[in-house]
Structure 1
Amino acid sequence: MAARIELTFDTRNAVRLAEFWKLALGYEDEPPPAPFATRDEWVASFGADEDDGGGAWLRDPDGVGPRLVLLDVPEPKVAKNRLHIDVRVDGWAGVLAKVDELKKAGGAVLATFDGHHVVMADPEGNEFCVAG
């Protein structure tokens, strides 16, 4: 069996960023693993302190895309990401529609390459592209 990848991001506000990425990708919250009823219960099983910060676990409802994990950390982002997400949609009209939707959710346009892609930043400044 081939290994699967998941993408893990350090963040200052996992809950807020999770809402943004669920909108961007059509993802949903991943349920906690059995036998836990909640993610908090699962995290507590590791002996984590309440002050350790929160997290969010997202999945592609179709089971195709990688799992996203967003973990709260105390330190701010200090450099450009070496990895970014490309959000793929159908056609240039789809790109423009997705960009408008993500701007309303707190994203920012950084650069537009007409007819091809738009470079954006999520609410915490992580760069990503929307492309057709």
Structure 2
Amino acid sequence: MRLVLVLDCADPERLADFWAPALGYRRDAPSPPYVSLRDPSGAGPQWLLQQVPEPKITKNRMHPDLRVSDMDAEVDRLLALGATVVRGPVDDEGWATTVLADPEGNEFCVIVPPERSLPEDS
């Protein structure tokens, strides 16, 4: 079994411009209605950005968490790529969390784990 994440969107090329550098992934040649993003190390799941006609209306039921060691630097980097802050940073039981949205409004979290937690790549 292989995990592939699919994100519905209006403009997969535009979102690839955001998500590829946000994740450190490389962009494959587009195959409409998809644009595929892959982890160059092969460790992370493939992301498919799928063009769909309907707009995003409500909160995501599933979202990515990006675990980092420096909240301010990572949020600044993602804002420069086109993200917007939805809320935060907040302390979520020791986990520093900022909720961001990609250029189409899909929410994701930037999280600094507490000292007692597992390393960010676990």
By percentage of residues, which structure has more strand? 2
Query: Quick one: higher RCO (CA 8 Å, sep 6+), 1 or 2?
Result: 1
Choose which of 73, 77, 97 in structure 1 pairs with 2:73.
Answer: 97
SS in 1 for 2:36: strand
- Would you identify which runs of 4 or more consecutive aligned residues in structure 1 move more than 6 Å? none
In structure 2, how many angstroms separate the alpha carbons of the residues matched to 1:107 and 1:87?
13
Unpaired segments of 5 or more residues in structure 1?
Answer: 31-37, 41-52
In structure 1, how many angstroms separate the alpha carbons of the residues matched to 2:30 and 2:18?
19
In structure 1, how many angstroms separate the alpha carbons of the residues matched to 2:86 and 2:58?
16
Give the C-alpha shift of residue 88 in structure 1: 1.5
Choose which of 77, 87, 108 in structure 2 pairs with 1:111.
Answer: 87
Partner of 2:7: 9
By percentage of residues, which structure has more helix? 1
Q: Which has the larger radius of gyration?
A: 1
Choose which of 22, 43, 65 in structure 1 pairs with 2:44.
Answer: 65
Question: Residues 87-119 of structure 1, C-alpha deviation per residue, up to 9 Å, x if partnerless?
Answer: 1222xxx22111111112211111111571111
In structure 2, how many angstroms separate the alpha carbons of the residues matched to 1:17 and 1:95?
22
Give the C-alpha shift of residue 39 in structure 1: 4.2
With normalisation by structure 2, the TM-score equals 0.81
* 1:20 and 2:3 are equivalent in the alignment: no
Contact 1:24 1:87 in 2 (8 A): no
What RMSD over aligned residues (CA atoms) do the two structures have, in Å?
A: 1.6
The letter for the 1-side match of 2:39 is D
Unpaired segments of 5 or more residues in structure 2?
Answer: 113-122
The letter for the 2-side match of 1:27 is Y
With normalisation by structure 1, the TM-score equals 0.75
In structure 2, how many angstroms separate the alpha carbons of the residues matched to 1:39 and 1:20?
15
Identity in percent: 46
In structure 2, how many angstroms separate the alpha carbons of the residues matched to 1:127 and 1:39?
24
Partner of 1:75: 54
| Number of equivalenced pairs | 108
In structure 1, how many angstroms separate the alpha carbons of the residues matched to 2:57 and 2:63?
15
